[in-house]
Amino acid sequence: MTSLDGKVAFVAGASRGIGAAVAVALAQAGAAVTVAARSEEEGRIPGTIGAVADRITEAGGRALAVPCDVTDEQSVQSAVDTTVAEFGGIDILVANAGVLWQGPIESTPLKRWQLCLDVNLTGVFLVTKAVIPHVRARGTGSLIAVTTTGVAMTDRGSNAYWVSKAAVERLYLGLAADLKGDNIAVNCLSPSRVVLTEGWTAGGSGITIPPEMVEPAETMGRAAVLLAAQDSRGITGTVQRSETLVPAS
């Protein structure tokens, strides 16, 4: 198994779904993990940062629940500073925070369009910007942004969610070149199939997904561990699909 002993991971959007699965998997591999998200209390969509952090610590891992609104630069910086103060630095970033809106462009309210860009794109920019100096200071590290196979499905139309994730892929592919000299791996990771997260269930518009098209969130966790162990001499500057990296489960 890939070992992340001694590493510190910051996982944004980790209160539920893919982010929670990734945080748990990184901790199981030996990393100390900051579980960062806005969800401090149970709301309309189940899941809190405290519950995920407790799950990790109860299994013998190290975790810190830190509130973080990725659209707010001050909130992001505070969460990063808290992580560094507690764990001594940051080696790994998983930028997973996201909102879902898959309605047609002509019926998309401006506020929904803007929310997708604010959370899914600007949120990735803000957490990445805040974390880079700390990862660079370690002499090596890995940055991972969670995207979606929908980016490539241009035959299925357009929506705010896919557009925001496509922009994230361009951001990270370029960033890989910028950080290669710092020995930092930069990659995007998407599920190969559909992960039926709490967010998908709440915002999936009642779409029925056939069982063979469903992927367990834990597959994304195992794929994230593999990418988290990379530096610029390994896998970098790529868009990876989870089941390409690890066997389907």
Residues annotated as catalytic are 161
Across-strand partners of 185?
142
Q: Are 231 and 183 in contact (CB under 8 A)?
A: yes
* CA geometry: angle 9, 101, 48, nearest 5 deg: 40
222/242 Cα distance (integer angstroms): 8
Give me the half-sphere count of Cα atoms (radius 13 Å) on the Cβ side of residue 201: 9
The torsion defined by the Cα of 78, 94, 196 and 122, in degrees rounded to 10, comes to 60
145/81 Cα distance (integer angstroms): 20
For residue 112, the tally of other CB atoms under 10 A from its CB is: 17
**Residues present in the chain in total:** 249
- How far, in whole angstroms, is CA 183 from its chain's centroid? 21
